[in-house]
């Protein structure tokens, strides 16, 4: 059963010290208000004895009426109280002077001077000193122990509760609850086997990895995988975060590291999971001397991991999004022996993850999760779960009884491009957007057997986009041929080309900004990194980019940089002319697509094919058309 537990299990006296602090605070308040204030103990007594308030006298009045004063009690703060010869009580502030007192005595005034503290004030003083000393002694004892202390540590006593919260107990999560990362699960099966059957490893002298570092993009399932290892092995699972070991008190992180490893040793065999370990495990350098507390915490972590005996049964699993930031001492054998990088799920992995999460939702029976997975390239496991949740929310909003395909499509569009914008657009802008997207759709369909297939085209604004053409990959691609690169460049620039064909060069707009940016990035990658340009050759040229500022090309002379820029422009011009020629030769078809978009706002791939090939187009005719298109592609994709 999963629960929140504090790593400090020893009984402590933090409540006693808290009560001590409260008493000390109250004593100080009482001392300020009643002892040092204007209302003294004697004054309170006098008010109880006499209902008549004493008269206020200035120092001049005291000198002038010195013969009328019967008694005078002088306090340590130079206040004087007493009675006149007619019985009237008075109160005054005087200047202490022996000659003045001699004058009062000659006039028959009984003068008394307060040289010692009153009993109540003495009690206040000694109680304040006692509790202050007790509080300081407690602080020194805690700090002397490195922030720990024998009774639970300064962590709980100073902050009120220990900020290092860890999730403890047996977890019910197993490998059945993890999908899409089968290779990574296989890597961790040895750990599970060791926790279940240690003896067969000992018989061969094998040592299980002491530490396992899980790295990968956010949402890929690092924490879930660590929890599944503990659940599969049926051992306790302790989870904490790297940021929990940092604090404003020097030595606090070291104390917490000691305590959590003590807890793990008492409950071995177990899984100790540290999320976001880069918070304390950043690489040390000669410039990091100003962060000594973090370095001390890291050193303590290194010592604790290095001190494990092989038979302890403690497996430390850490997770990070930035393994490049970690100190090399953490990654050496004997600490984090095994490093597992969790990739974003592929097509089959995304389908399995969707099927796993779909059990929690009411999904329509006719939905094929493989098709949904095709449209979610680059999604992590968390993104896919969020996709289904957004679709379910949309289904509730439109009063569907189950999650349908249009709910999933809307959820995917919302995640990728943002919600629908209710923009007031001019009719000419809507028309130009329709012809822009029609150009993308036609050229994309033209190169449909080379690049990803079209899913739909729409002129409904989303986010910053006024319209879009979506593509549905058949499978995950790990590389691109030069033919694919040039086809993608032509498709990206088809929107601008369509604007020129239908409205003229003087009517083009800034709507192709994102298209040009993506095409330029792809062309630069193909030429400078992938070596696909005959003119530049097989050399790797990287362009550094620091905080959005363009820096000169690395590994290249000025002459080579100029050649790269010229080659990129040449590729872009060839792709633009290719798209422009295709649209000009099929102007009537593209015009039909644009008018259909103006009428319906969104066209599916079936509707786009119907307009391009005709309603009564048979499969044989489509195949013939595609075959004729292929003959022209080779000339279109050449330089």
Measure the CA–CA gap between 496 and 479, rounded to whole angstroms: 27
Measure the CA–CA gap between 413 and 395, rounded to whole angstroms: 15
Residue 502, SS3 per DSSP: helix
Q: Note the residue count of the chain.
A: 639
**Is 493:445 a contact under the CB 8 Å cutoff?**
no
Distances in Å between the Cα of 97 and the Cα atoms of 72, 94, 100, 147, 285 are: 14, 9, 5, 55, 69
Measure the CA–CA gap between 597 and 460, rounded to whole angstroms: 10
Whether the bond between 343 and the residue before it is cis, its omega within 30 degrees of 0, is no
Q: Which residue among 410, 437, 499, 567 is the active-site one? A: 437
List all residues 6 or more positions away from 129 whose beta carbon is below 8 Å from its beta carbon: none
Distances in Å between the Cα of 277 and the Cα atoms of 214, 265, 294, 324 are: 10, 20, 12, 12
The CA angle 440-442-608, to the nearest 5 degrees, is: 110
Our measurement of the distance from residue 253's CA atom to the centroid of its chain's CA atoms, rounded to an integer in Å, reads 21
Closest CA to 590 of 391, 397, 455, 446: 446
Distances in Å between the Cα of 343 and the Cα atoms of 173, 184, 222, 260, 474 are: 21, 9, 11, 30, 19
**Is 467:436 a contact under the CB 8 Å cutoff?**
yes
Question: 């003119």: which residue's tokens?
Answer: 535
Measure the CA–CA gap between 58 and 94, rounded to whole angstroms: 8
**Is 231:237 a contact under the CB 8 Å cutoff?**
yes
DSSP at 151: T
Measure the CA–CA gap between 404 and 108, rounded to whole angstroms: 107
Question: 């000169």: which residue's tokens?
Answer: 552
Closest CA to 246 of 300, 287, 289, 286: 300
What one-character-per-residue DSSP string does 468-484 give? EEEEE-SS--S---HHH
Residue 437 appears among annotated catalytic residues: yes
List all residues 6 or more positions away from 498 whose beta carbon is below 8 Å from its beta carbon: 435, 436, 438, 439, 440, 442, 579, 583, 590
The residues that are catalytic are: 437
């Amino acid at each position: 059963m999963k629960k929140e537990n504090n790593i400090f299990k020893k009984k402590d006296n933090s409540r006693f010290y808290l009560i001590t602090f409260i008493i000390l605070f109250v004593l100080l308040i009482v001392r300020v208000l009643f002892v040092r204030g204007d209302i003294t103990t004697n004054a309170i007594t006098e008010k109880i004895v006499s209902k008549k308030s004493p008269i206020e006298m200035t120092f001049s009045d005291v000198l002038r009426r010195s013969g009328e004063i019967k008694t005078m009690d002088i306090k340590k703060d130079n206040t004087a109280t007493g009675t006149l010869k007619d019985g009237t009580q008075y109160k005054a502030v005087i200047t202490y002077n022996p000659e003045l007192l001699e004058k009062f005595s000659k006039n028959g005034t009984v003068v008394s001077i307060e040289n010692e503290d009153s009993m109540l004030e003495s009690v206040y003083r000694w109680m304040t000193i006692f509790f202050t000393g007790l509080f300081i002694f407690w602080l020194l004892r805690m700090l002397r122990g490195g922030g720990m202390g024998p009774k639970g540590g300064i962590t709980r006593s100073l902050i009120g509760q220990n900020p290092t919260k860890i999730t403890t107990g047996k977890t019910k999560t197993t490998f059945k609850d993890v999908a899409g990362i089968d290779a990574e699960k296989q890597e961790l099966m040895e750990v599970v086997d060791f926790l279940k059957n240690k003896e067969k490893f000992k018989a061969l002298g094998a040592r299980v990895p002491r530490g396992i570092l899980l790295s990968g993009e956010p949402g890929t399932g690092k924490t879930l995988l660590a929890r599944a290892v503990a659940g599969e092995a049926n051992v306790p699972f302790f989870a904490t975060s790297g940021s929990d070991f940092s604090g404003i008190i020097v030595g606090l992180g070291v104390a917490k590291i000691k305590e959590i490893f003590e807890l793990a040793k008492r409950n071995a065999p177990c899984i100790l999971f540290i999320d976001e370990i880069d918070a304390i495990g950043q690489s040390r350098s000669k410039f990091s001397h100003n962060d000594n507390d973090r370095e001390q915490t890291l050193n303590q972590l290194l010592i604790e991991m290095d001190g494990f005996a092989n038979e302890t049964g403690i497996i430390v699993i850490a997770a990070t999004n930035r393994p490049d930031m970690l100190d090399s001492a953490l990654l050496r054998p004997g600490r984090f022996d095994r490093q597992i990088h969790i990739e974003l799920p592929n097509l089959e992995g995304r389908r399995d993850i969707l099927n796993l999460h779909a059990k929690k939702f009411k999904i329509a029976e006719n939905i094929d999760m493989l098709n949904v997975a095709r449209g979610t390239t680059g999604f992590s496991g968390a993104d896919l779960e969020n996709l289904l949740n957004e679709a379910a929310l949309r289904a509730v909003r439109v009063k569907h009884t189950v999650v349908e395909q249009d709910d999933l499509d809307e959820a995917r569009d919302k995640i990728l491009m943002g919600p629908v914008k209710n923009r007031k657009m001019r009719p000419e802008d809507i028309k130009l957007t329709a012809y822009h997207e029609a150009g993308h759709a036609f050229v994309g369909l033209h190169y449909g057997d080379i690049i990803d297939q079209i899913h739909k085209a729409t002129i409904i604004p989303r986010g910053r986009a006024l319209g879009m053409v979506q593509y549905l990959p058949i499978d995950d691609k790990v590389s691109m041929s030069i033919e694919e690169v040039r086809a993608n460049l032509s498709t990206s620039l088809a929107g601008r080309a369509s604007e020129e064909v239908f409205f003229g060069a003087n009517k083009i707009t800034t709507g192709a900004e994102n298209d040009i940016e993506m095409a330029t990035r792809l062309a630069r990658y193909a030429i400078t990194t992938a070596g696909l340009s005959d003119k530049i050759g097989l050399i790797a040229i990287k362009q550094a980019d620091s905080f959005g500022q363009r820096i000169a090309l690395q590994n290249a002379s000025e002459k080579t940089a100029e050649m790269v820029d010229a080659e990129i422009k040449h590729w872009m011009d060839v792709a633009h002319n290719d798209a422009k020629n295709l649209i000009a030769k099929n102007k009537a078809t593209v015009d039909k697509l644009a008018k259909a978009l103006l009428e319906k706002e969104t066209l599916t791939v079936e509707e786009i094919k119907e307009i391009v090939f005709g309603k009564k187009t048979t499969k044989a005719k489509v195949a013939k058309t595609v075959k004729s298109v292929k003959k022209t592609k080779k000339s279109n994709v050449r330089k």
